[in-house]
Amino acid sequence: GGSAMAAVRDVEIDPEGTFKYILVRLQRPGGAEQRHIVRGTKAAEFHNHIFEKLNPEMEKLGYECKCIGGGKIDHNNKDKKIRVFGLSTGYGKADHSVTVDILKKVYTDYEITWSDDKK
């Protein structure tokens, strides 16, 4: 049922700073149920590092993972602002508007914006 999918958090990003992020689609093999999640961290030098860590974790839970793009997140927790921008050379540009919708579910009291700017 929905419990395993609920166990996967919508967003896991660093609490502060500017870092790479990826937008990932999860689905059950052969299933219609799917959802999107956001993952980002300063620890990742490249976008694929985030995916390579996430993918085996999701496979264990029985999900197929597809990275549908990336970019950068600037997370200012002091001013409660998140800016989504940039792109991934390997995965292409994520649909930042989708990313923002997901972030808004978690960071409800933040001002969250996006742009196609590179920096």
Q: Using one digit for the tens of pLDDT, what is the confidence trace for 61-75? A: 999 999 999 999 999
The pTM is what?
Answer: 0.93
| Helix, strand or coil, per DSSP, at residue 40 | strand
Q: How confident is the model at residue 58 (pLDDT cuts 50, 70, 90)?
A: very high
Domain 11-115 falls in which CATH fold? Answer: Pyruvoyl-Dependent Histidine Decarboxylase; Chain B (3.50.20)
CA distance 85 to 118: 6
Rounded percentage of the chain residues whose pLDDT exceeds 70: 95
The confidence score (pLDDT) of residue 5 equals 62
Residues that are catalytic:
47
In 1-119, the DSSP E strands lie at 11-13, 17-27, 34-41, 64-76, 81-85, 111-114
CA distance 101 to 81: 14
User: What residue segments make up the domains of the chain, in order of their start?
Assistant: 11-115
For the chain, the farthest-separated pair of C-alpha atoms sits apart, in whole angstroms, at 43
Does 20 belong to an annotated binding site? yes
